[in-house]
Amino acid sequence: MKKWYFLAIFALLPALASCGAAPTQRNNLGFFAMDTLMEFSAYADEALLAGARDVVMDIERRVSATSEESELYALNRDGGGVVSAETAALLSEALSLCRETGGAFDISIYPVVRAWGFTTGNYRVPSFDETAALAEKVGYARIRLDGREVALPGGMEIDLGGVAKGYAGREAANYLRERGVASALLNLGGNVQTIGGKPDGSAWRVAVRDPRDAAAYAGVVEVRDKAAVTSGGYERHFTADDGQTYWHIMDPATGRPARNGILSATVIADDGALCDAFSTALFVMGAERAERFWRTRGGFDMILITESGEAIVTPGLSYQPEDAAGYAVRVLEK
């Protein structure tokens, strides 16, 4: 009987146990980091998995927006400061991703997300005047990074949560690759990073969650030596007294939840940090703008699940829809 692994965003499909002869014994390591349960599965010894875990934990210690011990917390508290070379590199990469997406992904959205209660669990619907005032403080282009020195304009705070898990998955995978690991699947709370394929030569099979049903999936995509990350409104949301559902993915232009007809956006590419940021950006953009961005920028594949019942898929993917989910697949032309 097949075993299913349903995690936060992705369901990791079975076949781990039927991989055939493996180069080494498969080991698993589960741990909690970045506010989510993570599971690393690799054909490597336990010490290497523990080392990969430590890579993730170190990144979290440096860039958690809520831990008073982190470098990022100090930046937000003081309006700037000097950070480690590693944090500066991540911040530089995040700012580059902000620029590439035209601000659809913006690391300075943190005060807006907090105003809605998504950082504390004290959910509320701010007034339009309040969100408009907060949105005026959002703007990645005003962040100054000079080497390791960071300067934030008055009232701005940053959060790297929209890129940190993808970045951590990439760095953990690099740690394992450098030590000879050729087959692994790292699940960072739904952000999936793979190393190679399964030892029998086949690809990893990852199921994309149905955004309308937490217990089901919309389809299955084959992934080999890439990352796969989904952003969806179902991840964190609340229903207010007005009967409306509000989710945590904010439109930086308005300071309110992004509503452009997309229920979830999945990005598959070589770089987990890019996948993480782009999945958020595509959700904010909406389908038409996301398609134009894919054609112009290239270098990644995507699956967009829309409110109208479509699954929009780029032609580079091996994607099998789940008939029961009922999404009509539309494959984009090159």
Q: Please state whether beta strands 250-251 and 245-247 pair in parallel, antiparallel, or not at all (unpaired).
A: unpaired
Average pLDDT over every residue of 254-268: 95
Cα gap 10→5, rounded to integer Å: 8
Average pLDDT over every residue of 6-25: 43
Q: What is the residue extent of each domain of the chain?
A: 1-334
Confidence of residue 14 (pLDDT cuts 50, 70, 90): very low
Q: Where is pLDDT greater, at 11 or 116? A: 116
Q: What is the value of pTM for the model shown?
A: 0.91
pLDDT confidence of residue 10: 43
Closest CA to 112 of 135, 94, 143: 135
pLDDT higher than 70, residue 40: yes
pLDDT higher than 50, residue 128: yes
Q: Give just the sign of the alpha carbon dihedral 174, 34, 189, 283.
A: negative
| The one-letter amino acid at 140 | Y
Confidence of residue 24 (pLDDT cuts 50, 70, 90): low
pLDDT confidence of residue 119: 85
Q: Work out the mean pLDDT of the chain and round it to a whole number.
A: 90
Q: Where is pLDDT greater, at 135 or 70? A: 70
DSSP one-letter code for 4: -
**Residues found in the chain:** 334
Closest CA to 226 of 198, 193, 199: 193
Q: Give the Cα-Cα-Cα angle 164, 89, 293 (nearest 5 degrees).
A: 65
pLDDT higher than 90, residue 271: yes
Other beta carbons less than 10 A from residue 180's beta carbon: 10
pLDDT confidence of residue 242: 87
| CATH architecture classification, 1-334 | Roll (3.10)
pLDDT confidence of residue 21: 39
